[in-house]
Chain A
Amino acid sequence: MKPFAYQRAKDVESAVTTVAARPEASFLGGGTNLVDLMKMEVLKPELLVDVRHLVSRTIEPAHGGGLLIGAGMSNNELAADRRIRRRYPMLSQALLSGASYQLRNLATVGGNFLQRTRCPYFRDVTMPCNKREPGTGCAARDGVQRDLAVLGADASCVATHPSDMAVAMAALDAVLHTVGPSGERTIPVNELYRSPAEGPQRDTVLERGELITAVELPAAPVAAHSRYRKVRDRASYAFALVSVAAALEVRHGSVTQVRLALGGVAHKPWRATTAERALVGRPATEAGFRAAAEAELAAARPLAGNAFKVPLARNTIVSMLRDLTEGA
């Protein structure tokens, strides 16, 4: 680990100015991802600006009936909140399926969105990796492929985004509130992550020094009937091979509203808009679910070592929608 300086910023403005001005500075949340990567020298910030105390750690009502979640809230606090559990159960379930109890106590909401890929070639500084060192190539593509992306990837990068929370947030149309060098703005989660074709070295559209202060969950009555299902290589404490966040409303046998997002399959939480379109207004049948899942996955470009993710994603989508229809 490279020696570094640590600083507790006194306010948001100075935190933003400091990090914006110094390319080798980085915000520090819970540190559960950043510090790991520093130990491996994948990231070598010279200055850590601790922001955890600067951003809110509470949930407030937002206008329009939604909720505004402070970016400094821990993953466990958010998962345990009654409003979240009642109104957005998929989000609570997604959080609880991630990491371990101890890590979730430390991990922040802001940091969770920005955690880096678990691609083992990104995490090994002796390997070529366009995300870590632009222009060096992608070692993963012809390497060990089990965890790689099947949707939205590019020859330059086939890494997946590892977050569970962000998958539920994508399905719920959550919106980030940020403060950056050029002021405040809001960014829908579904527009946060850049496609690898735009250059894999930058994961998101955030500017240098742009701080996530809160996440807004819009009101979504359908989300009260939602679930998160994570399929992985062991029963707990593993990243998703495929995960599905789904909310469904069925009236008179037809789908009236649906939210569907996939994890473990792309460089970002994958909002399944093609499948959603194929579902709405159609009968809530197993055949219909299957056709919708297949329509979404038609764009999949799997590699030999992760081809199983396509049928796995399809089956998981179908079984989630079936369970939600049966109201189980």
Chain B
Amino acid sequence: MTSPNETNEPSRRAVLKAGVAGLGATMVPFGAFEALGAEPAQAAGPVTAPPAAASRGGIGAALKRVEGPLKVRGAATYAFEWPVEKPAYLYPLLSTIASGRVTSVDTRAALAEPGVLGVLTHLNAPRLAWADEPEVALLQSDRVAYHGQIVGAVIADGIETARYAAGLVKLEYAAEPVDVDLRTDRDDLRKPQHAQGFGQLPGDLMNGAPADTSAGDFAAGLASAVHRVDATYTTPVQHHNPMEPHAAVATWTDDEITLYCGSQGVSTPQELLTRAFGLEAGRLRLISPYVGGAFGSKDFSALWGTLALMGARLVPGRPVKLSFTRQQMFTLVGHRPAAIQRVRLGADARGRLVAISHDAVQETAKAKQYAEQTVQASRSMYAAPNRRTSTRIALLDVPIPTIMRGPGEATGMFALESAMDELAEKMGLDPIELRLLNEPQTHPETGQPFSSRHLKQCFEEGARRFGWKNRARKPRTRRKDGWLIGTGVAAATYPSPRLPGSTAFARVDRDGRYTVRIAAADIGTGTWTTLAQIAAEALGVPQNRVTLQIGDSSYPRASSGGFSSGMNSWGTTVYEAARALHAAVDEHGGKVPPEGIEVTVGMPDDPRLRQYEFGSYGAQFAEVRVHEDTGEIRVPRLLGVFDVGRVINPVTARSQLLGGMTWGLSMTLHEETALDHRYGHFVNNDFGGYHIAANADVGSIEVHFLDVRDPHINPMGSKGAGEIGIIGTAAAIANGAYNATGVRVRDLPLTLDKFL
């Protein structure tokens, strides 16, 4: 039998390239993995999901998460929890200035502390073989580019010793002026370029899209409009804050190097770290069976991996454990960048748009140019002959932003869908009617057909279920017990990309048991369950005959989980592997020889990917209450109807969308990281200060799917369901708050002071 490594070898070069391409798109919520059952082996054995119950399974089956019981029992091994012998602990040391240099380092007191094994700083950290990626290139110079940057680490026998000794390391700095002000009138705003992935690919934005687009003559179009909206919307820095902190356990031996590391993917970070440390291909193995939430922050996941590996190299053979504190997570693992967006809409007398523009100015770090697709949804949502979008970034002394929960669309659609509500209000039109009037027949910029777009049905079904027709059209007309009551609606859209670079292995044994292996990830989204369903369907066998193995970089390479691309990318690959396996069995005359049959195949190309626009859609409805005296805001009810293509598993899909809508609620009402403009640090960097919706903030949330198959996207007919749930929620709530109070808040979050 071929080992996974050998199987992998021929494609490794090609894969590395594809991996870089894949990076631009990886993100999103992540999930759980299925490990070895209760007693994981020391050097992890295969990471395998328990078989589904005796059910036939397959696509559409309402299966519960296969790893659920392990998680509930506390038996699922998250990164920090891998049992290892006699670990050492690493505690990072963060900069206390936002810009400048480290001028002196005194580690004597720390080294003198009993139990301290070593102190890493830029003076003694290993020089990396490849340090072009700022998030990987830790401790490579004395330069400080943001407050809370890693400037050292202590490795010790005990976790408390490491933490205490970190406080004994004395660093002196030469501080430089701090510049963290995001304003649209800065004269150094620039158009992002090659902001994708690691700056090696064409395309301006993180996802490879251009920064700016235009069609027709926007100015003339706007001038000809009968009704106009011109409004500016602002959104703050927000943080992912997954429950599980960013953690790693690294062991460096003469042959293998193992890294247990909660991550949205295993292949890409394995490749990055291999390159950074100049290792032979395959020597580093990254294992990530379960992830306790990621939301984008564990995608470009090389930073804490680098640190753990540096620590492990210092104490060869001994496992090194690292887990960031909540406070450290505010600067080390990314954030949603603050943005200022101007949206202009022009409509004719009937409400048909004649001009749309969406201009975004967003923050990024001097340390790394990250630019997200804030204006992207405005390129495809509505028909209008004259249109433009633009993206500008300000390079500031802030920590490095990254993809977070629907990056771009989550904030961009807050702006666009608020503006649409403002236009409907101005015209006295029902906001749903206005949207349906402007449904495009083909993509408004590219002219390509949509593979499937059922936004109208989402609105119609949502309106019926929500009771939209009973709403008070005039703001500030409904009140009860001191609360003003309103309702709001917004559209949702999110692309359904397929990322390149996945490969899958499939095997059949003589006894008719199947194994499918792919280095995919489950970040809590349900991959363990749903990818097994796809495999069973593709193989045409009951699911309990299929064993799925994911979450280990020694498996055939896969793109990371993010960008709502996982099922599309991995599912398509698994389908292809199943097809190849069937063909191989046919070649054996339909008989499986004693040694079994196995195949390893890459994801197929499909010309249709270039002929259609692929995306998911949704309609979000909100009931909002605002207290007349205090401005307190509550959302007793959210309802979403989504077109995510064919639903692979209604249980996990509902859970994902419910979570997305809850995040949407949270980003609308609460989430805001405050930046101190003098010191350049994030001020409210813990759960006491950074508010996420509490149980009491979450009322009824209803999730419905259309469950209509997309004819072209992939063999499953499924579209992305990862992030669509968070898109549009903010606008639906803000529009509902306007309907309740007559106060239009264009600045997230919708805190009570804005309604006083």
Instruction: Please list the residues of chain A having a beta carbon within 8 angstroms of any beta carbon in chain B.
Output: 1-3, 41, 118, 120-121, 124, 126-127, 139, 142-144, 146, 231, 233-239, 241, 308, 311-312, 315-316, 318-319
Contacts and interface: CB of A to CB of B under 8 A. Distances in A.
Interface in B145-170: 160, 163-164, 167
Given A41-B167, A144-B674, A315 B679 contact: no
B634 A316 contact: no
Interface stretch (B218-226, B376-384, B516-524, B683-691): B683-691
Contact of A233 (B482, B670, B696): B670
A1 B753 contact: no
Nearest to B635: A235
Contact of A236 (B164, B679, B684, B696): B696
A243 B632 CA distance: 13
Interface in B657-686: 669-670, 674, 676, 678-679, 681, 683-685
Contact of B629 (A2, A308, A319): A319
B583 interface: no
A127 B684 contact: no
A251 to B, nearest CB: 25
**Interface residues of B toward A: which range?**
20 to 34
**What are the 7 tightest A-B residue pairs by CB atom distance, in nearest-first order?**
A308-B753, A235-B696, A236-B696, A126-B96, A315-B629, A319-B629, A144-B674
B58 to A, nearest CB: 42
A118 B753 CA distance: 20
Interface of B: 96, 160, 163-164, 167, 482, 629-632, 634, 669-670, 674, 676, 678-679, 681, 683-685, 688-689, 691, 693-697, 751-753, 756
Instruction: Please indicate which of the listed interface residues A120, A139, A239, A316 has the most CB atoms of chain B within 10 Å of its own CB.
Output: A120
A157 B381 CA distance: 51
A286 to B, nearest CB: 11
Given A2-B164, A234-B670, A311 B756 contact: yes
A143 B683 contact: yes
18 contacts: A126-B96, A139-B679, A143-B676, A144-B674, A144-B683, A231-B630, A233-B691, A234-B669, A234-B693, A235-B696, A235-B697, A236-B696, A308-B752, A311-B756, A312-B631, A312-B756, A315-B756, A319-B629
A104 B580 CA distance: 60
Nearest to B688: A118
Instruction: Please indicate which of the listed interface residues B629, B685, B752 has the most CB atoms of chain A within 10 Å of its own CB.
Output: B629
Contacts of A118: 688-689
Given A139-B679, A316-B630, 19 more contacts: A1-B163, A118-B689, A120-B684, A124-B681, A127-B679, A139-B676, A143-B679, A144-B674, A146-B674, A231-B752, A233-B670, A234-B694, A235-B634, A236-B697, A237-B694, A237-B696, A308-B753, A312-B630, A319-B629
B731 to A, nearest CB: 20
A302 to B, nearest CB: 11
A305 B676 CA distance: 12
A127 B752 CA distance: 29
Contact of A308 (B679, B695, B756): B756
B328 to A, nearest CB: 12
Contacts of A127: 679
Contacts of B160: 1, 3
Query: Chain B interface secondary structure, helix, strand, loop or mixed?
Result: loop
A2 B629 CA distance: 46
Nearest to A315: B629
A241 B167 CA distance: 33
A241 B752 CA distance: 10
A124 B676 CA distance: 13
B150 to A, nearest CB: 15
B482 A319 contact: yes
Instruction: Please indicate which of the listed interface residues B167, B631, B669, B676 has the most CB atoms of chain A within 10 Å of its own CB.
Output: B676
A1 B96 contact: no
A316 B630 CA distance: 6
A198 B164 CA distance: 34
Nearest to A143: B676
B421 to A, nearest CB: 25
Contact of A316 (B164, B629, B679): B629
B630 A315 contact: yes
B167 A144 contact: no
A236 B694 contact: yes
A231 B670 CA distance: 14
B753 A120 contact: no
Nearest to B95: A126
A235 B678 contact: no
B589 to A, nearest CB: 65
A118 B678 CA distance: 20
B752 A312 contact: yes
B696 A234 contact: yes
Nearest to A120: B683
Contacts of A120: 683-685, 689
Contacts of A308: 752-753, 756
A316 to B, nearest CB: 6
A202 to B, nearest CB: 24
Nearest to B695: A236
A3 B164 contact: yes
Nearest to A100: B694
B632 A1 contact: no
Contacts of A311: 756
B42 to A, nearest CB: 31
Nearest to B749: A233
A18 B266 CA distance: 55
Contacts of A239: 688
Nearest to B698: A235
A34 to B, nearest CB: 15
Contacts of B683: 120-121, 124, 143-144
Instruction: Please indicate which of the listed interface residues A127, A231, A235, A238 has the most CB atoms of chain B within 10 Å of its own CB.
Output: A235
A233 B751 contact: yes
A142 B753 CA distance: 19
